[in-house]
Amino acid sequence: MKLMRRWAWMMACVAATASTAACGGDDSSEKGSVREALARSDGLKVGHVALYNQKTELRSVHGGSSNFYGGWRPPPNPRCETTTEGSCTVSRCQRLTSADYGPSFELIEASAGLVEIRRSNSPEVLTLGPGRSGLEAAGSLWSGGEQFTIKAAGDSDGVPGFETSLKAPSMVKVTAPGQPTAGGWIIPRSRDFELQWTYEGEPSGVVTIGMGDGRFNLDSVECKVPVQNGGVKIPASALAVLSAGTGYWSLHLLEEKTIEVEGGWKVTASLFTEGAGPGAGGLASVPVTFE
């Protein structure tokens, strides 16, 4: 959920349009070179290279994306009250207003050249870039524990070259509770909710379970446990904060690393996998009804 908070605001601005004007500023390509725009900007220089992997009984797919931006100003932290219940963090937040986000800013799209991603002991090379790019292909890319190297060639007008590596998180399949109905799981808030799972490959990563009600995700529960635990009990005291009615829940594993790159850039590399559902179902993330 922290990953979503960090990137969702920025990507919502640019996902639907090639112009950064949608983010409250002018497109830097219309005002001179990227190098000049970066030089006059007082915002942060950030980048993200991500791979995701999904494997269910219905299908297997993997993909990736890369993006690099100067002039970035992170969204404000939500005003939340948090408590800890077992392995879970319970958050009750206030909705942010437009005034919380401050004035508009110029978001400058940059390039790090071609980005090559290699898996240990494999001749296959995945290529992203230059600039904002994405890919998706059939097949599972990892089971868990494999080492991936991410190397960017660099761009003299944008992001210098960099290299980093990280380990792939395990692939997880939920085994209990059983397969949800067409409307998803029904989760009583008056008693503990138990999850169990199995995993492939070397145990790697932390399982993150996120739950929220339908009130604009203002109230939420996030639980983190090592994948090798094979399950977690979410206490009723945590579920009690959620409102009755339709909500969401998700289960994923994330491995990420942020490195500092010459010129003041901070680049985050992420490997992400979403858990598979029980039985012959698809992904573990399904609608839920809290009772």
pLDDT in tens, 131-190: 889 999 999 999 899 999 999 999 999 999 999 999 999 998 888 887 666 667 888 999
The tokens describing 114, both together, are: 């071609």
Give dist(CA 147, CA 269) in Å, integer. 13
Give dist(CA 58, CA 156) in Å, integer. 44
Write the pLDDT tens digit of every residue in 214-240.
Answer: 665 578 999 999 999 999 999 999 999
Q: What is the mean pLDDT of residues 8-13?
A: 38
Give dist(CA 261, CA 175) in Å, integer. 42
Residue with the bigger pLDDT between 18 and 194: it is 194
Neighbours of 290 (CB within 10 A): 22
Write the pLDDT tens digit of every residue in 240-275.
Answer: 988 888 888 888 998 999 999 999 999 999 999 988
Q: Taking the model in full, what pTM does it have?
A: 0.82
Residue with the bigger pLDDT between 203 and 150: it is 150
Which residue blocks in the chain are alpha helix, DSSP H? 2-14, 34-40, 236-239
Q: What is the mean pLDDT of residues 92-96?
A: 84
Number of domains in the chain: 1
Q: Hey, what's the torsion of the CAs at 208, 138, 142, 210, to 10 degrees?
A: 0
Give residue 262's domain range: 2-276+285-290
Neighbours of 219 (CB within 10 A): 19
Q: Give buried/exposed letters for 220-234 (b at 16+ CB in 10 A, else e).
A: bbbbebebeebebeb
> Which of 24-28, 42-46, 120-124, 182-186 bottoms out in mean pLDDT, i.e. has the lowest?
24-28
